[in-house]
Structure 1
């Protein structure tokens, strides 16, 4: 406890240094934050007094990282609005269903092919199906893609995944933890999640005039206190009814985007998003034991290959169903390929149920690889699409326009 402030200070300095390195080589900062967290985490090696592990402050840094997820999703919600998202409701439902069906089926098939028992197969399918809201949000903001046409579908799929997650955790808990999980209980859990989201969006849109008056405060201090209070209250309440707190934060952002104070909120929230967001990825690295990853290398690489295929296929089909171009559809699959916090939750559920120990290192390595590949593939999505388009010919190359023939001078009689 005596060294907690020192540890947090060192953590921030390390994060800043690797961030500068990433900026210098023009690479996504996310993998650097995760890797430096692994290097100084509780599982890192130490010799005598040369102990650079973050042990005493790990829990506090983890909590600050949770705040980072909230700020990332809240900011992403501010870039949109309830009206803009709800206009795409039908296409989002279709796209989300396509995404879940393809990736979940491939996850089950992967577990079955590798001869895992049914419980482990169900956990693996959960690990490989749900994308990371935090990484997706970070990448979209960093690459300034929030205005892209496909981003509505990406956001919709993230929300759709959360409804699936609420149902699936109920089912999996009943199977793995030998808890009673009736069909009625599962349907009730799903209804709570879906009903809360829809009700919040509808009421939030109608409440825009009231929120305009409520937030009409000159003092930035009081203004931020009120915004933060709403954010944390809704996010915390969301978790109590089996809706991820990150989705609660996204909903608050979508609602406040309807107000006249949106630009002011966006401006004031930016430093908090960047600071706590960096801490989230660092804290994620702290949880990974690098020495436990070796036995899961081939299994993780196989799962990564399956996920890359499944995500790209799902993105192309989801985009096509929404009338998006092949290029925009490819962006969907490449952007949501990252895996993170939800995959780790699934692995922890398997651990609590006494399932195979391999699940933990498998999930950690699988998530780490996709946390590195995901931002890179998103950044280079144009290049990836161009290469694949050369093979599959989704879009025909535009021919340069031929110059119009010169008109012959009209002869006089």
Structure 2
């Protein structure tokens, strides 16, 4: 009887849970099929499904246990952010470059301010206005990718800028979650509290990233022969949830932990496989999350706030289009690409929902804000494809309407902003030294704090426990202390600076700062376990030990560093998404293609194909298996399976794509990353002035694919063109040779 009663009780609790989940998935499935048929974004289908299954629509079965749905939605956010992290990767952020960073940051600052002021103008509270600005500042990766696929524009130059901006926006959105949580708890904007939150976030981001890259890829490699798909899925989910717990323990949101673990795994060789395995889990719980968002849509609220919805929608479209375009112009992009970039980013999406959810969870925003944000997202989802489609026409019309003087100044600024200038030797040394100090300071601080929290309490009452614990901790941080205080960086550059008297004082100051920090950390550690007097004596002994064993510490540090760099670079030079290709500052840019097995081009030489002569396309390299053919000559042949990198304008790339399709060749989705780079430089070296482009190529091994002279641009110049002082040229060549050339120039 007791067992039957327990079973009945369990069934009673399960019934609403199962029935609600069934209703959600059934409604979502039907809505997704309809929206797929109508070629509309699936996110909108989930929102409509949530509205139908929610308690605000009386003509459809409704869920009975909203609390369970909220739990699933929270899990959905975790897996959604984990999946975004898998696509993110910190190394992609490093490759984004100044153009996308300036574009994204300009747009974010502008929209946060505009959103806040619009909220205040409409009579909203301070927290509602702050959260409004935050939600309007982040564009939707999902919607943009969908629109680019449908419009078939991924080969165009501005697409790379857009994707780079989205990467920057992702990391800024994570920072916003932390800052908004701080503001919500204190209910005021405190500069000190915000700075503390930012420093805390940076500290833990670096520690988690360094520790994760050092450990996780090693585990995957060691256990590779044991990992089935099932085990890999379980382990990756376990790592995700473990980082969620860590983030929550130190006061961050669970979403942050999921995103960080995803970005760590994104640097491993297992990233693509884990991303594939996690996709069904993300889709399931992500659907529940978006459906739960739709459940909060109250028709009465939308009717009552129809005017704010209309105002905020217009602010979103015009504000984001203007600010993103201005940011791209500010970074040195031409008007056409800037306008295309701005109009592509004019919407809000999934991160906006997460930020709005945070406000509701912390109970600092009004009930009307969430449905308004959902409504604005729905409208801008529909408008995005049209804005992207007509952005080029609008840009061309704008060029016709603006004064010729403005257009000329914009073009000149674009060239000057993108021209490569030599970085001074002092800047190189200073950057390397500051990086060295920051990274090792954070590592040493983290180890000492962990030791004081977990090791010191265990040995507090033992006779020699403090000594043993201090020695163990000192042994662990010893290599990093050596690197912080004594390791030499940029040796050749430092020696050249030392010969110039004016830099000697600054170099000595850097050395003094590094050694002082090393002494400080040794003293700080010893003071935790001993009295100040004992700590001082031990400090003298420790300094002597560091002077006696520098070679051993050097070897130990380099083993640690080599292991970390090997894990970090395992995925490097293997896969690259073509949308993040190195882009030129005008229409010419890199695109990647595969030569199909049945292609009519196979077996023909470049001279026979006459690709450059007919379409103005340059081939930067041909990759054949593990062999890389850089800057191929006219006698080089194409073979089935070759991967080629071509350079041309948007129109030329489009024409080339049609040409390849006619010859049964497929565009590549992913290619091996080459050591071939596209760089821009200003001719200032006497070795190249009054020399022909052909002589430049013979001397440097670099192919000149564009030249700018007195504001006039020439793509694919002839080899007999003579270079003049202050010419700006775009060169394709081997990465190492190009770096050496640019250092010389």
Is TM > 0.5 for Structure 1 vs Structure 2? Answer: yes
- Equivalent position SS for 2:140: helix
Residue in structure 1 matched with residue 68 of structure 2 by the alignment: 60
Answer with 13-22 or 234-243: which moved more. Answer: 234-243
The structure 2 residue matched to 1:269, chosen from 270, 278, 289, is: 278
Task: Say yes or no: does 1:289 pair with 2:298.
Answer: yes
Q: Deviations over 1:116-154 (max 9, x none)?
A: 26xx04422322323597x83433565677995232321
Shift, 1:208, TM fit: 5.8
Bigger radius of gyration among the two: 2
Residue in structure 2 matched with residue 123 of structure 1 by the alignment: 128
Kept after mapping to 2: 8 A contact 1:69/1:277: yes
Q: What are the residue-to-residue correspondences of 1:161-240 with 2, within 5 Å?
A: 161-175=173-187, 183-207=191-215, 209-213=217-221, 216=224, 217-240=226-249
Residue in structure 1 matched with residue 107 of structure 2 by the alignment: 99
Q: Deviations over 1:232-284 (max 9, x none)?
A: 22134334545443343232222212212122212211211222221111011
Kept after mapping to 1: 8 A contact 2:50/2:294: yes
Distance 1:314 1:215, change over 3 A: farther
Residue in structure 2 matched with residue 360 of structure 1 by the alignment: 367
Residue in structure 1 matched with residue 443 of structure 2 by the alignment: none
Kept after mapping to 2: 8 A contact 1:208/1:258: no
Distance in 1 between residues matched to 2:360 and 2:315, nearest whole Å: 18
The structure 2 residue matched to 1:391, chosen from 391, 397, 404, is: 397
Kept after mapping to 1: 8 A contact 2:113/2:133: no
Distance 1:140 1:347, change over 3 A: same
Task: Say yes or no: does 1:306 pair with 2:319.
Answer: no
Shift, 1:387, TM fit: 4.4
Kept after mapping to 1: 8 A contact 2:340/2:388: no
- Equivalent position SS for 1:260: coil
Task: Say yes or no: does 1:33 pair with 2:46.
Answer: yes
Residue in structure 1 matched with residue 341 of structure 2 by the alignment: 329
Q: Deviations over 1:51-75 (max 9, x none)?
A: 721122x322332233333333333
Task: Say yes or no: does 1:79 pair with 2:87.
Answer: yes
Distance in 2 between residues matched to 1:11 and 1:371, nearest whole Å: 21
- Equivalent position SS for 2:305: helix
Distance in 2 between residues matched to 1:309 and 1:253, nearest whole Å: 33
Distance 1:330 1:125, change over 3 A: same
Kept after mapping to 2: 8 A contact 1:166/1:243: yes
Answer with 262-271 or 80-89: which moved more. Answer: 80-89
Distance 1:263 1:334, change over 3 A: same
Distance in 1 between residues matched to 2:145 and 2:278, nearest whole Å: 13
Distance in 2 between residues matched to 1:160 and 1:376, nearest whole Å: 25
Residue in structure 1 matched with residue 375 of structure 2 by the alignment: 369
Structure 2, unaligned runs of 5 or more? 1-12, 400-406, 408-585, 588-648, 656-745
Distance in 2 between residues matched to 1:337 and 1:279, nearest whole Å: 16
Structure with greater strand percent: 2
Distance in 1 between residues matched to 2:113 and 2:245, nearest whole Å: 32
Using the size of structure 1 for normalisation, the TM-score is 0.79
Shift, 1:347, TM fit: 5.5
Kept after mapping to 2: 8 A contact 1:23/1:29: yes
Distance in 2 between residues matched to 1:112 and 1:333, nearest whole Å: 25
- Equivalent position SS for 1:3: helix
Kept after mapping to 1: 8 A contact 2:309/2:376: no
Distance in 2 between residues matched to 1:231 and 1:247, nearest whole Å: 10
The structure 2 residue matched to 1:156, chosen from 151, 164, 168, is: 168
Q: Deviations over 1:284-327 (max 9, x none)?
A: 11223222322111022112211222222232234445556326
Distance 1:203 1:156, change over 3 A: farther
Structure 1, unaligned runs of 5 or more? 402-413
Kept after mapping to 1: 8 A contact 2:47/2:290: yes
Kept after mapping to 1: 8 A contact 2:73/2:292: yes
The structure 2 residue matched to 1:139, chosen from 132, 140, 143, is: 143
Distance in 2 between residues matched to 1:122 and 1:209, nearest whole Å: 42
Distance in 2 between residues matched to 1:8 and 1:346, nearest whole Å: 25
Distance in 1 between residues matched to 2:246 and 2:299, nearest whole Å: 35
Structure with greater helix percent: 1
Task: Say yes or no: does 1:4 pair with 2:17.
Answer: yes
Task: Say yes or no: does 1:258 pair with 2:267.
Answer: yes
> Of the two structures, which has the highest relative contact order with CA contacts closer than 8 Å and spacing of 6 or more?
1
Alignment: residue pair count: 381
Residue in structure 2 matched with residue 343 of structure 1 by the alignment: 356
Distance in 1 between residues matched to 2:280 and 2:147, nearest whole Å: 17
Distance in 1 between residues matched to 2:269 and 2:650, nearest whole Å: 42
Kept after mapping to 2: 8 A contact 1:132/1:340: no
